[in-house]
Amino acid sequence: EYTEGVVQEYTPVEEAKMKLMVAQLLIYMYESKETRVKKEDMLRDDKTKMVEKISNYLFSNFARSITVEDVAYEVGLTKSYMSHLFKDITGNTVMNYLMNYRLSQARNFLIERPDESIREISADCGFKSEAHFSRFFKKNIGITPSEYRKNNIEQGEM
């Protein structure tokens, strides 16, 4: 019973019961927080695994013509959710990631395959045309694929 302005005295047993209830409440709150954190970690792991699945698909199919819809279908997600998830985890869009991977492969191929034409390398890396490949390469690397090959093969011979 509460009376304004009057300090209520509790028996030692009542005080112990209240302290026990407070302790139980604190334990419950702590455990529910731990469970929530574990669930968030688990969700993060699941998201990371899904992004790895997407990346692996891109790495395995970079030479093909790929759309975001193709990737989403292959990994079993909606286009929208997959795009958001991928951007959230990697900081890149799916297509930007794919194009950067294609560019990386092209750079390697230009040096590893000195007798192969620029047209063949662009096709092997999934570019729609040699002209598109050359424009994209120059925009991102600063020099043409031919100049890149020439510079890197000359450096290797020194």
Q: Which fold has domain 97-157?
A: Arc Repressor Mutant, subunit A (1.10.10)
Average pLDDT over residues 133-144: 96
| Cα gap 145→105, rounded to integer Å | 12
- Cβ partners under 8 Å of residue 63, min gap 6: 123, 124, 125, 126
Q: How far apart are CA 82 and CA 69, in angstroms?
A: 10
For position 4, what pLDDT does the model report?
58
How confident is the model at residue 154, as a pLDDT? 72
| Domain regions of the chain by residue span | 12-91, 97-157
Q: Using one digit for the tens of pLDDT, what is the confidence trace for 23-75? A: 676 776 666 665 555 555 656 688 999 999 999 999 999 999 999 999 999 99
- Is the pTM for the entire model greater than 0.85? no
Determine the pLDDT at residue 61: 96
